[in-house]
Amino acid sequence: MITYNQTAMPRFVLAAGLALLGTVASFGVTTTPARAGTSTNAATLATGLESPAKKVVNGALWKCTGDACVGQIDGSRPVNTCRQVVKTFGAVTKFATPKGELSAEDLQRCNAAA
């Protein structure tokens, strides 16, 4: 004879439902695209480039078109990264990180690397 445990079935259904919900939620999080611009630095060159350029600066790829350059965050202090960008592409008039732009004083220190 088969006996039915009335308390086991609702627990099983609850556990299965929670597992399914967790799977759906985690799938939604992993397939959500990253927000653009959250992990990049941007520089405006004082003199635009004649043709687009791609170069590795401090281990991160930088892409420049005209006077606009964008590169991944490399872990260095923004002023140090800015100095390397100046050495690679030329003087900058603006250098921005996800946390904000460099001050005029920091830009001056950055451009001293040229």
- C-alpha span between 52 and 23 (Å, rounded): 44
pLDDT for 67 equals 96
pLDDT for 37 equals 44
Query: Where do the domains of the chain lie?
Result: 40-111
> Is pTM beyond 0.75 here?
no
Helices (H), 1-114: 8-30, 78-89, 104-111
- C-alpha span between 87 and 110 (Å, rounded): 10
Q: Which amino acid is at 21?
A: L
pLDDT for 34 equals 46
Per-residue pLDDT reduced to its tens digit, 69-80:
999 998 889 999
